Amino acid sequence: MKRSTNIPMLVLVVVLMAFPLWKIQKPAPGPDGKEVEIFKGADDQAKDLIGTIAPGYKPWFKPIMEPPSDEVGSLLFALQAAMGAGFIGYYLGSAMTRAKLRREQETKC
Amino acid sequence: MHIMEGFLPVKHAIGWSVASAPFVAYGLRSVNKRIKEKPEQRMLLGVATAFTFVLSALKMPSVTGSCSHPTGTGLGAILFGPAAMAPIGAVVLMFQALLLAHGGLTTLGANIFSMAIVGPFACAGIYRLGRSVKLPFGVSLFLAAAVGDLLTYVTTSVQLALAFPDPVGGFVASFAKFATVFAVTQIPLAISEGLLTVVVFNALARFNPQELKDMNVITGKEVQV
């Protein structure tokens, strides 16, 4: 794999995300005047779907701890991503330096 | 693919937990053994875990007008074998279930089964298939990660359809509904996951060719230093 293919691949990922944002328009509010939500989480939609297929179903267990608000929830999600990205960055950074030092050593010998 | 806390009937919750447990136990044993034999791979195992953490936190918009997230289990499945991803996926899902109320403890077994077992095993299988029919390395990796991602969501749809069959159309009708929510939304995200997996793998292979060669993940040919 050539290194130069990485950039187009990353661009494609951005396009894949941007396209739906640009293409999908919020539909007009329904007859009840309620705003239609778009880009809801698929997990939530599945939950709603369970409600229509089995209206009698009651969840039998509640989450032990729930983020008190969406803001706190997004904080935790950001933290999750940041920890992961931080680790990958650290690893690649040290691997890069190691490879560079090794190359320098080889040219010296 | 996170089935929410309490949203699987008791029997199903127990059933999927029982199904997932041996995979997690076996995976944990194989990871421990590997780290004991080759402690230098510990960091790379961390990278595989971190990749799953990042990708499963990224909720991306999709063409269906809803949001979902990739799984990030493909990278580790190729690096360490699919079994290793069961405990890693379990850690990520546990984090989300306990702190984020995303997924849940009662649905942990089912969620592990889809994200940390079916996805990685499908990924490893497709990768092997791709390589055996002489597809280029990057293409095999892309297809493996993308299809593994997609099959995770198909599995979730199957799990929900089994638990909540449609009163009229039964399992099939219910599966069609859940698959529309999950699997169709997932198609562009699966492509993204495939691409991101290849990008990160390229970076790993570029700076650690020897390590990956020692792990028999790559032969000399794939790497151009």
pLDDT tens figures, B126-171: 999 999 999 999 999 999 999 999 999 999 999 999 999 999 999 9
Residue B224: the pLDDT is 46
pLDDT of residue B141: 95
**Sheet (strand B66-68) strand order:** A40-41, B66-68, B60-61
Residue of B nearest to A52 (CA): B166
Q: Which residues of B touch A40 (CB under 8 A)?
A: 66-67
Residues of B in contact with A24 (CB under 8 A): 61, 63, 65
Q: What is the ipTM of this complex?
A: 0.87
Residue A24 pLDDT: 85
The nearest alpha carbon in chain A to B58 belongs to A81
Instruction: Determine the average pLDDT of the residues in A31-55.
Output: 85
What integer pLDDT is reported at residue B43 of this predicted model? 92
Best B58, B100, B181 member to test A by mutation, with max A CBs in 10 Å, is B100
Mean of all residue pLDDT scores within chain B: 93
Q: Among B5, B57, B62, whose Cβ lies nearest the Cβ of A61? A: B5
pLDDT at B57 over 50: yes
Per-residue confidence (pLDDT) for residue A70, from 0 to 100: 85
> What pLDDT sits at residue A3?
61
- Beta-carbon separation of B199 and A9 below 8 A: yes
- Is A22 at the interface with chain B, CB within 8 A? no
Residue A65's pLDDT is what?
Answer: 82
Q: For B102-112, write each residue's pLDDT tens digit.
A: 999 999 999 99
Q: What is the pLDDT of residues B174-187, one digit of tens each?
A: 999 999 999 999 99
Average pLDDT (A43-71) is: 89
User: How high is the pLDDT of residue A2?
Assistant: 56
Render pLDDT for B61-101 as a digit per residue (tens, 0 to 9): 999 999 999 999 999 999 999 999 999 999 999 999 998 88
**pLDDT for A1 beyond 60:** no
Q: Nearest CA to CA, how far is B33 from chain A (Å)? A: 22
